[in-house]
């Protein structure tokens, strides 16, 4: 396939090629960030019974409303004490009250709880001055969760709130989707690994580490295959190893240079190739195919290009395989704050700094946008998505922004207050 594939088409091709992985059963301490593969249906009400929202006295509303209507205090006989964790053994009858603690089940006969501070009391009696509507200070059975309801849907990524809810529902184990396993391979004779002794003409393999972190951020498990030299045999061997994973992500060697063997090796391994070049910048050379049923990506070697293309193609498919219901980053519209003009008609992804000033999203670039400038990814909290047909942007134009992280957001005056003598939103490089 010779022409450039649009990113939109490429994303569809890639997503259509994958489906969610299998299931695994995990304990409640491991659920954070995982994606449920089952609907969680409440097997009981929460709270399981009407209970008191206050420390006070459980009474019959009937007993207090008449007297209060004519402005008199009411004295009731206290017949029992119910601490939290206990049930009352008696029923509240006319003229009676039961002392009750927050969270304790409301005793039979009572329909209202009076706050302790609104009464005068002795061990045996309570004097009530303040009228309360019927049902006051009672948390009704099932007000949080009703038995039989679907409380957390399949495909939900678990946060602390869901973890607490699972405990309420007595689920000490749940079924989640398995994490996608991603084999990561860097290619190039010029590369050296971090733990290697290397000469000055070598370049440290940074892609493997950046991509591994991106895999983890997307909920996957990375496997580092190291560096393959620029020769077909070495490349083939490593790629075959990588096919044990669900996804193979290779970087470098996808262009048409004399040392770019990815295409030939993919074909040699019988790959069903879907595209070779994308109409985006950075990241034009980008191969995607299926080899022995596994997804294989050949990302461009330049560090920024590999990260941006990972974001646009590998991350979404990982989210799909991981059982998520949506595969994109949060997107907002923001006011562009610079002048920009394109040199090609490809869709561009500029590394940007998104801020919110007085409630308005504003975005500027991180500066130099070369595909070897990895500091642009370090400074960025977003990617500015500039459509193919847009040639120029001026300050104030509206642009679409993909949010990569919530860091660096809020520059409204309240955040400029000092914190231990430093501006709250300032870092070492401000």
Q: Which residues bind ligand AMP (CB under 6 A)?
A: 186, 188, 190-191, 203, 205-208, 251-255, 300-303
Binning the chain into helix, strand and coil, the percentages to the nearest 5 are 20, 35, 45
Nearer to ligand AMP, 57 or 288 (CB): 288
Find out whether 223 and 211 touch, Cβ atoms under 8 Å.
Answer: no
The closest of 174, 408, 177, 212 to 310, measured between CA atoms, is 212
Beta pairing, strands 285-291 & 221-228: unpaired
What residue is closest to ligand AMP based on CB? Answer: 301
Nearer to ligand AMP, 96 or 207 (CB): 207
For binding to Mg ion (CB under 5 A), which residues are involved? 188, 252-253, 301
Query: How distant, in Å, are the alpha carbons of 165, 307, 317, 322 from that of 11?
Result: 35, 16, 8, 16
Q: How far is the CB of 391 from ligand AMP (least distance, A)?
A: 27
d(CA 344, CA 338): 19
Nearer to ligand AMP, 180 or 303 (CB): 303
Residue 186 binding partner per list Mg ion, ligand AMP, none, with a CB distance cut-off of 5 to 8 Å that depends on partner kind: ligand AMP
Residue 207 binding partner per list Mg ion, ligand AMP, none, with a CB distance cut-off of 5 to 8 Å that depends on partner kind: ligand AMP
Q: How far is the CB of 381 from ligand AMP (least distance, A)?
A: 23
Q: How far is the CB of 220 from Mg ion (least distance, A)?
A: 25
d(CA 383, CA 309): 11
Nearer to Mg ion, 276 or 340 (CB): 276
Q: How far is the CB of 307 from ligand AMP (least distance, A)?
A: 11
Residue 255 binding partner per list Mg ion, ligand AMP, none, with a CB distance cut-off of 5 to 8 Å that depends on partner kind: ligand AMP
Q: How far is the CB of 310 from ligand AMP (least distance, A)?
A: 12
Q: How far is the CB of 16 from Mg ion (least distance, A)?
A: 30
Q: How far is the CB of 253 from ligand AMP (least distance, A)?
A: 5
Residue keyed to tokens 């091709």: 13
Nearer to Mg ion, 222 or 301 (CB): 301
Q: How far is the CB of 300 from Mg ion (least distance, A)?
A: 9
Q: How far is the CB of 368 from ligand AMP (least distance, A)?
A: 16
Nearer to ligand AMP, 20 or 188 (CB): 188
d(CA 364, CA 376): 12
Specify the 3-state DSSP secondary structure of 59: strand
Nearer to Mg ion, 44 or 236 (CB): 236
Residue 424 binding partner per list Mg ion, ligand AMP, none, with a CB distance cut-off of 5 to 8 Å that depends on partner kind: none
Nearer to ligand AMP, 241 or 356 (CB): 241
d(CA 414, CA 62): 52
What residue is closest to Mg ion based on CB? Answer: 188
Find out whether 322 and 47 touch, Cβ atoms under 8 Å.
Answer: no
Which residues, listed in sequence order, are joined to residue 357 by a DSSP beta bridge?
Answer: 360
d(CA 296, CA 273): 9
Find out whether 305 and 299 touch, Cβ atoms under 8 Å.
Answer: yes
d(CA 213, CA 222): 8
Omega cis (within 30) before 282: yes
Q: Region of 206 please: left (phi>0), alpha (psi -120 to 50) or beta.
A: alpha
The closest of 320, 316, 293 to 402, measured between CA atoms, is 316
Residue 40 binding partner per list ligand AMP, Mg ion, none, with a CB distance cut-off of 5 to 8 Å that depends on partner kind: none
Find out whether 298 and 306 touch, Cβ atoms under 8 Å.
Answer: no
Nearer to Mg ion, 187 or 369 (CB): 187
Find out whether 242 and 248 touch, Cβ atoms under 8 Å.
Answer: yes
Residue 302 binding partner per list ligand AMP, Mg ion, none, with a CB distance cut-off of 5 to 8 Å that depends on partner kind: ligand AMP
Q: How far is the CB of 238 from ligand AMP (least distance, A)?
A: 13
Residue 366 binding partner per list ligand AMP, Mg ion, none, with a CB distance cut-off of 5 to 8 Å that depends on partner kind: none
Nearer to Mg ion, 20 or 301 (CB): 301
Residue 191 binding partner per list Mg ion, ligand AMP, none, with a CB distance cut-off of 5 to 8 Å that depends on partner kind: ligand AMP
Residue 251 binding partner per list ligand AMP, Mg ion, none, with a CB distance cut-off of 5 to 8 Å that depends on partner kind: ligand AMP
The H or E element containing residue 419 is: strand 418-419
């Amino acid at each position: 396939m010779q022409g450039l594939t649009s990113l939109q088409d490429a994303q569809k091709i890639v997503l259509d090629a994958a489906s969610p992985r299998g299931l695994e059963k995990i304990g409640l301490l491991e659920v954070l960030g995982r994606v449920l593969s089952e609907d969680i249906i409440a097997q009981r009400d929460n709270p399981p019974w009407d209970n008191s929202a206050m420390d006070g006295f459980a009474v019959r509303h009937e007993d207090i409303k008449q007297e209060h209507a004519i402005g008199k205090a009411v004295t009731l006989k206290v017949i029992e004490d119910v601490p939290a964790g206990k049930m009352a053994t008696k029923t509240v009858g006319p003229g009676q009250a039961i002392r009750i603690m927050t969270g304790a089940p409301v005793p039979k006969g009572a329909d209202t709880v009076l706050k302790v501070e609104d009464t005068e009391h002795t061990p045996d009696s309570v004097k009530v001055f303040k009228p309360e509507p019927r049902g006051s200070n009672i948390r009704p059975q099932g007000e949080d969760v009703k038995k039989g309801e679907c409380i957390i849907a399949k495909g939900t990524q678990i946060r602390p709130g869901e973890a607490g809810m699972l405990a309420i529902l007595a689920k000490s184990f749940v079924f989640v989707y398995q994490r996608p396993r991603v084999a990561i391979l860097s290619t190039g004779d010029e590369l050296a690994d971090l733990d290697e002794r290397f000469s000055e003409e070598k370049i440290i393999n940074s892609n493997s580490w950046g991509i591994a972190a991106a895999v983890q951020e997307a909920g996957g498990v990375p496997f580092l295959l190291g560096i393959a030299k620029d020769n077909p045999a070495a490349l083939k061997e490593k790629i075959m190893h990588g096919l044990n994973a669900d996804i193979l992500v290779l970087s470098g060697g996808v262009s048409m240079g004399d040392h770019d063997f990815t295409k030939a090796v993919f074909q040699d391994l019988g790959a069903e190739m879907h595209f070779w070049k994308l109409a985006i910048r950075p990241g034009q050379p980008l191969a995607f195919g299926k080899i022995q049923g596994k997804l294989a990506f050949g990302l461009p070697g330049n560090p920024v290009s590999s990260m941006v293309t990972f974001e646009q193609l590998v991350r979404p498919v990982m989210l799909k395989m991981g059982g998520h219901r949506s595969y994109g980053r949060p997107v907002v519209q923001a006011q562009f704050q610079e002048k920009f003009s394109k040199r090609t008609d490809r869709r561009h992804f500029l590394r940007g700094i998104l801020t919110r000033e007085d409630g308005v999203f504003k975005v500027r670039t991180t500066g130099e946008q070369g595909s070897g400038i990895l500091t642009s990814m370090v400074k960025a909290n977003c990617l500015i998505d500039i459509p193919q047909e847009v040639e120029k942007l001026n300050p104030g134009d509206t642009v679409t922004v993909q949010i990569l992280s919530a860091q660096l957001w809020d520059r409204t005056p309240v955040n400029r207050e000092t914190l231990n003598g430093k501006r709250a939103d300032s870092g070492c490089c401000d």
